[in-house]
Structure formats: structure tokens, C-alpha cells
Amino acid sequence: MNTTVDQADFFKTLAEKSDGGTLRGDYSLADENYVVAQNWQHYTEAQHELWRKLYRRQAQLLPGRACDVFIDSLERLDAADAIPHFDRTTEALQKATGWQLVAVPGLVPDLTFFEHLANRRFPVTVWLREPHEFDYIVEPDVFHDFFGHVPLLFNPVFADHLQQYGKGGLKALKTDGLKYLARLYWYTVEFGLIESPQGLRVYGAGILSSGGEIEHCLTNPTPRRIPFDVERVMRTLYKIDSYQETYFVIRDLEQLFNETAPDFTPIYESLKAQEALPANTLLAGEMNLPPNG
């Protein structure tokens, strides 16, 4: 699930929107930071019902698959019965980790996205998918953004990591490292796995908001499950239109924070001299963790 889009591509697509461009959402009312009003009162009962169905389906899949910190935080949100009010969630987030939610019309440019994260603001799309998109959607909607991402923002370690990522993104824009940082986000925040005493668990939002991949990533013997290494992750290409062929596994959230804290500039320079790895690559001597039994 793409969360950012290259700025040049973004503005080209936005300019062509009236002529059949693919970006969804109404950008005409967005401010300079691409923030809009959520206008919660404009959601229809049919949309709230679709939200309930999506929430119910995913919530039933979480036990034994999602990491405990995600499940615990999701229960605190009280979001099962209707599309949430972002302002109410922000009140709770501010008390927990100092984060806030900002409503956006859809995908935002990289610079804007990183600036929001660096200032502990998480952009959440305001529109909800259509019923025929129940199982698959190309652009992230309010269900993906809220259900998949927001619960972990209540965890101090993950919240600090995401702010750190935003600051790293602002640096990457100046050092030609954006594609490497995008791979890191994809394989962690969106599609990351984490170890637990009971086996592998999911913490990535793209999986947590998916009806099929949440089981596939844990039990299917086909995909690679490789212990997390920053440079290895940044070197690996990813799939945007199918289940992932490789998942990277962290020991705990502290590892994610600690190993993504240093300046990535030396890694970017090293990677520029190496070929990118196809998504299904398993290097010689590399550990491939078994699926859950």
C-alpha cells in the first residue's frame, strides 16, 4: 500500500486529475500542508456500515497474527462502530505519545509527508473505499490509514521511530536516498513482521488491514522471512500489486528504533554501488525463518 508518491509524479497526476488522472480525493480545499477538514458529518450510514464490516473482518483475524501491542492499542480506540472522529483520537494520542492525526485528501507529496511525520503528525486519508474494493484498494483510504497505522502510534517506541523516519526522509530528499528509504518504510511500517514467544506476528499496516495477506505472510511456506538488516532491506525491491515475496522480521520494536537511528548517508552511498535485489532473493548463507506452524 503506497503511502507517499514522488513529488514530480504527484504534481503531474494532480494536474491531470480533471482529465482522468488516478489520484482520488478532493485536493481543492487542502491547505499548503495538504490538510483538509475531516467533515465527519458527511459520511453516510452506508459508509459507516462498510467501515463496520471491514473492522469486524479484520478484528477477527488479529488474534494469533497481530502483535500484542497493536491489539491492545486498537481496543483503546473504540473505533468498531463507525468511522472515527480524528479529533477525538488526537486527544488520546497527544496524551499517550504527543502525536496528532491530520486529515488529508489522499496521497501527499514526499516532502509534505516527511514534514508531517517529523513533527509528530500522521496524515490520514478522509475518503473510504467503495464496497467493490472491500478486499483490495490501490491507494490508501481511511480504513487502511486508521486501522492499520494509528494503533501503533500509541506505543512510545514506535511513535519515536516514525518521527525519526520523517526526519530521515527530509535528509534523504537532499541526498538522493529516497528510493532506499521508501523500501525501508515498505518492509517495516507497511509489511513488517516481529518475533514473539508464540511465533511470528504482524506489525505492518499493509498486512494488518488486509484480509488475505495477514494469513499468507505467517503460514505460507513460499515467501522469504529474513531477519531484519537495514542495508539488506534498503537494497530489496518490492511488489505493489501482489502479496510480498519477502518479509523482514525484527526482534522487537526497540531493534527497529535503534537500527534506524543512525545517519543513513553512508548506507545510501554504499547502495548506489550495488545492484538492487529482486523481491524474492535469498542470499547465500542468509537465514530464512520458517512459517508459523
- Point out the annotated binding site for Fe cation: 144, 149, 190
- Give the Cα separation of 96 and 220 in Å (integer): 36
- Give the Cα separation of 218 and 247 in Å (integer): 10
- Give the Cα separation of 189 and 108 in Å (integer): 17
Angle 110-118/156-175 helices, nearest 10 degrees? Answer: 140
Phi, psi of 291 (to 5 degrees): -70, 165
C-alpha cell at 98: 504527543
Residue 184 · residue 232 · CB < 8 Å? no
Say which amino acid occupies 157: V
C-alpha cell at 160: 519515536
Nearest to 181 by CA among 273, 289, 260: 260
Residue-wise burial string across 64-77, b where 16 or more C-beta atoms lie within 10 A, e elsewhere: ebbbebbbebbeeb
Give helix then strand counts, H and E, for the chain.
13, 8
**Binding site per annotation, positions:** 144, 149, 190
Which residue reads 541526498 in cell numbers?
175
